[in-house]
Structure formats: structure tokens, C-alpha cells
Amino acid sequence: MTMLLARRTVQTAVRTKCCRSFSASQTQLNEKKGLVLGVFEKEGEEGGLHLTEAAAGFDQNLSGKLSELLKISGPTLKKGKSRIFYGIHKDFPCVAVVGLGKTSAGVCAAENWDTSKENIRQATSAGCRLLQDLEVNHVEVDGCGDAQSAAEGAALGLFQYDELKTKKRTKVTTQLHGSSDSTGWQKGVIYADGQNLARLLMEAPANHITPTAFANTIEERLALHADRVTINKRSQAWIEQQQMGAFLSVSRGSEEPPVFLEMHYNGAPDSKQAPLLLVGKGITFDSGGISLKPSASMDLMRADMGGAATVCASIVTAAALKLPVNIIGLAPLCENMPSGKATKPGDVVRAKNGKTIQVDNTDAEGRLVLADALCYGHTFNPRAIVNVATLTGAIDVALGSAAAGVFTNSDWLWEQLHKASVVTGDRVWRMPLFQHYTRQVTDSQLADLNNVGKYSRSGGACTAAAFLREFVTAPHWAHLDIAGVMDNKDEVPYLRKGMSGRPTRTLVEFAAGLAHSA
């Protein structure tokens, strides 16, 4: 009992001291500078903490004051939790200490990710947000033994779409504390910036990101890399010339003209290696067309171009990283709207490869625009094809927000995508491509294919993938259905609520892996 009273007396004294220091450091606080440091839970010792290298150096400069404060300020600092101290260092009026979990954490086969990297992302995100809430506008961040993951957590955690609000959050700049791995830090910043670009595009209202505005935004971003990138914004006349009847059938109900965006990143111009082809569904608003969606949550369909957003952001990121690989990106962009010109349920349209499609549900439009894009993409004889789309609500039912579904005809391609996702923590999960599903879309009353299949409510994600496979002849093709990971509520701790931009970092890591294995 005496020890307990003594401990409480010390805690009260330290809190009083911290409060006095806080009051005394108001002038310093106006400088808006903060620091994020990490601590691990010590293995085999209940309540024990192990400071990171940067935190230990900081503690040594303060003659052990940080360790003392951590011991007496409350329970053990668990993974993802944070604690803030005021006025303990003249250069940093605010110091956030964040929990990194166990030092032994690594790749977890059960979770299909690197737990250590995820812990670091979560921790640095929590620390930076805590300081942002205090209106600190410059934060130095502990690399925590993995500077790339620390940078990703910081930059992803601080992002919030407030472009159209009068009152905005404090803008925070971040930098690595010390110089342990500045290269890794910068790489992490670029990875996170790529995902944040996808989030920006997906979150913006559909009247701000029309097909034309989307294409112009990507053109502006890629202009910084004009020596390695060429971009073509194909018009409706070009789309008609290419006989992309499936794509045109979706766009015809809207007053906004369609755009077929084509990007070539030449990161290895002298390489004889065939290019990687990335194709993204670009429905900038999906009302469902004549098969109108319910009004509840229809506003979220501004992000139905998430496939195009992640693909384009991946190419922007690859260019920023100067990855030694050639990538071609295709984004068929349009709106899916009801009007007197819109496609009607039961209409039959003809795709670029000549196959006819009975459109029984105009809300199953993503597969139509992708069909023509995939046909066109084959003309480049790519090394591999990866298409990305917020394609079906069925994948959300199947996997939720834990992982993007992958349908592929190639074990090699699956292994490359899966390996990349373990590193990024933005997971993928393989789904079946059985002939069972193919028979459901090829059994059509009026045409070669039906866009929803025989049993529209059963295996919807699988029949959609089977439909796309009818437009693929390449031996290495993968379809990523990202509808379940389109937005974030609270599932990914280092992303705020809103559109997620997933799986941009996985696509970049995948492309980087191909570059290094070429």
C-alpha cells in the first residue's frame, strides 16, 4: 500500500512538472514542431519496454528522462497506442511516443503480411495524427528500424480529403529523425504519395472528377516525368474507330464524353523485355444506368473509378521511383447514367474482338468497359496483364475489406502479386476461375455472352471474372476486384475514414519486383 501511494505521488509530481513545462513552453509550441519516437514491448518481461535506436539516443541526451516518464506515466505502451510529453526537449515542445508491439514480429503466414511493418505504419500514423491535432505543422519521425514503413504510416495517416472545405486540418510536413535510412524514408514517402493520389481522385466529387478532368489530372502529374512517359487522351471518335462497342454502350447515357486514357512509362527503354500492362476501370460515376442503383450510398459511386485511380497512381509512382521497367496503362473513362440514349436491359452490343454481349443489367457495366480495353491491350504483346476494378459487391460479401480478390490464369503471376502484398500489408487473396462460372456467362439467349450470367446472385464476383476471361488470350493475366477495399471505415488503422486508394502500393511493389527480376 505504501509503495502504491509512493507511485501515485511520483506520478502526480511528474504530471505537475509536465503541466508546468507545458505552460512554460507555450512560446516554443508556437513553433509547431514535434517528434514521434517508437518503443517495443520487451520480450518475456511484463510491462517492459525496449526503446528504438533513435528513442534510446534521445533518452540518453535527456539523461534518462524519457525512460523515467514512460515508467511512471501509466500502463505498458501497447501496439498502436501513444503517449505525449510536453516540454521535455528544447527543440521539440511535443514528443509523441508510440507502441510498436513485439520486437520479434515479422512475416505472419496466418495474416499474410509482415506484422512488424504493419505495426510501424500503425504507430507512426497514430503519433503524427496526435501531433496534427495539436496543430503541430512539422514532425520528425523515428525510422523505427524500417524507415520506408515509418514514412508510409506517417504520410498515409496524415492524409484527409478537405480540398473543398473552408476550414482545413493543419498541414503537416514530415522528415526522418536522424539519418539512419534516408533512402528508405524517401521511398516510403513516394509509395504513400502514390496511394494518396488515388485517394484524392476517388474521394473527389463526380462533378469535379469527370472523365476529362481525371485524364487532365493524370497528364499534369505525369508531365513531371515527360522524359520517360508518353500519354494519349483518346477521344470518342477514336473509341468509335476502334470499334469498342461495349465501352461506348456504357458511356452513351451521359452528357460527359468518354476518354480512353493511354499511358506509356518507358523505365527500361533499351530492354527487350515486353511491357507490363495495367488496365483500370474508370467509371467516374456509376448510377447503374437504366438498372438504377438504390439512392442510399449512391454518392460512394464517385469512386467507381478506383481501378483507374490505382492504376494511374501506380504509374505516376513508378515514374517517380524511376523503376527500370516498361509499363503501359489503360483507363477507359466514362459515366454510367440513365437517359433517353442509355443502353436498355436486353440490348445486345458488340465488343472490339467481335463477340456480342447481351446486357441484361446496365449496372454490370465495369466488365463492359474493361472488355474492350483488354482486347486493345493485347496489341502490345505484354509480359503480363493486370486489370483492376471496383467490379462487384459480391467480392465485398466474400472478403470484406481484408483483401482484394485476385482471379488469374497464371500461378507465376499470382505468386508475384501475393509476394508484393505481404510486403505492403495491402493484401490480396486468390479466387477461383472455374469453367463452372464460364458456362454461366456463355449461356446467353440472344448473344455470345450475357453480362450478368445465368444466376446473377450466386458467385457474382466469379462470374464477372469469367466474363472478363472471354476477352483474354494472354497466358499471364490477373483480375483484381477491389470493390471490398474501395473505402475505409476503421479497418486499416493508418488510413482515415474515406476512400482508401488500395491496392496502389501493392501494384507498385509488384512492378518493382518485375523490374528487379527482369
* The three three-digit cell numbers of residue 410, written as one number: 497464371
Lowest mean pLDDT among 27-36, 181-190, 278-287, 304-313: 27-36
**Between residues 485 and 516, the one the model is more confident about:** 485
**Domain 2-180 and domain 193-505 have a common topology:** no
Say whether pLDDT at 30 is over 80. Answer: no
- CATH H-level, domain 2-180: superfamily: Leucine Aminopeptidase, subunit E, domain 1 (3.40.220.10)
8 belongs to the catalytic site = no
CATH number for the segment(s) 193-505: 3.40.630.10
Is-cis flag, bond preceding 503, omega within 30? yes
Find the radius of gyration of the CA atoms of the chain: 25
**Between residues 479 and 79, the one the model is more confident about:** 479
Say whether pLDDT at 471 is over 80. Answer: yes
Name the active-site residue from 102, 293, 350, 454: 293
- pLDDT tens digits for range 336-384: 999 999 999 999 999 999 999 999 999 999 999 999 999 999 999 999 9
Name the active-site residue from 117, 199, 234, 367: 367
Mean pLDDT of 166-170: 93
**Between residues 73 and 64, the one the model is more confident about:** 64
Mean pLDDT of 504-513: 98
- Which pLDDT does position 12 carry in this prediction? 44
- Which pLDDT does position 211 carry in this prediction? 98
How does residue 44 score in pLDDT terms, banded at 50, 70 and 90? low
Lowest mean pLDDT among 45-54, 289-298, 300-309, 391-400: 45-54
φ, ψ for residue 503 (rounded to 5)? -105, 60
Q: What percent of the chain has pLDDT over 70?
A: 93
Under 8 Å between Cβ of 214 and 335: no
How does residue 264 score in pLDDT terms, banded at 50, 70 and 90? very high
Query: What residue segments make up the domains of the chain, in order of their start?
Result: 2-180, 193-505
Say whether pLDDT at 140 is over 90. Answer: yes
- Among 374, 348, 350, 339, CA closest to 256: 339
- pLDDT tens digits for range 412-433: 999 999 999 999 999 999 999 9
Q: Cα dist. 107→38, 116, 392, 516 in Å?
A: 20, 7, 30, 21
* The three three-digit cell numbers of residue 130, written as one number: 496526435
Average model confidence (pLDDT) across the chain: 92
Mean pLDDT of 119-124: 97
Q: What is the distance between the alpha carbons of residues 374 and 391, in angstroms, rounded to a whole number?
A: 15
- Which pLDDT does position 47 carry in this prediction? 61
505 belongs to the catalytic site = no
- Which pLDDT does position 453 carry in this prediction? 86
Under 8 Å between Cβ of 120 and 146: yes
Q: What percent of the chain has pLDDT over 90?
A: 86
Mean pLDDT of 213-225: 97
- Which pLDDT does position 327 carry in this prediction? 98
Lowest mean pLDDT among 43-52, 100-109, 215-224: 43-52
Amino acid in the structure at residue 109:
A
- Which pLDDT does position 474 carry in this prediction? 98
